[in-house]
Amino acid sequence: KAGVTQTPRYLIKTRGQQVTLSCSPISGHRSVSWYQQTPGQGLQFLFEYFSETQRNKGNFPGRFSGRQFSNSRSEMNVSTLELGDSALYLCASRKIEQTPELHFGNGTRLTVT
Partner 1 sequence: KQEVTQIPAALSVPEGENLVLNCSFTDSAIYNLQWFRQDPGKGLTSLLLIQSSQREQTSGRLNASLDKSSGRSTLYIAASQPGDSATYLCAVRNYGQNFVFGPGTRLSVLP
| Least distance (Å) between residue 70 CB and partner 1 | 23
Nearer to partner 1 (CB atom), residue 30 or residue 104? 104
| Least distance (Å) between residue 16 CB and partner 1 | 27
Nearer to partner 1 (CB atom), residue 6 or residue 68? 6
- Assign 3-class secondary structure to the chain: CCCCEEECCEEEECCCCCEEEEEECCCCCCEEEEEEEECCCEEEEEEEEECCEEEEECCCCCCEEEEECCCCCEEEEECCCCHHHCEEEEEEEECCCCCCCCEECCCEEEEEC
| Least distance (Å) between residue 35 CB and partner 1 | 8
Interface residues toward partner 1, by CB under 8 A: 4, 6, 33, 35, 42-45, 48, 56, 58, 88, 90, 92, 100-107, 109
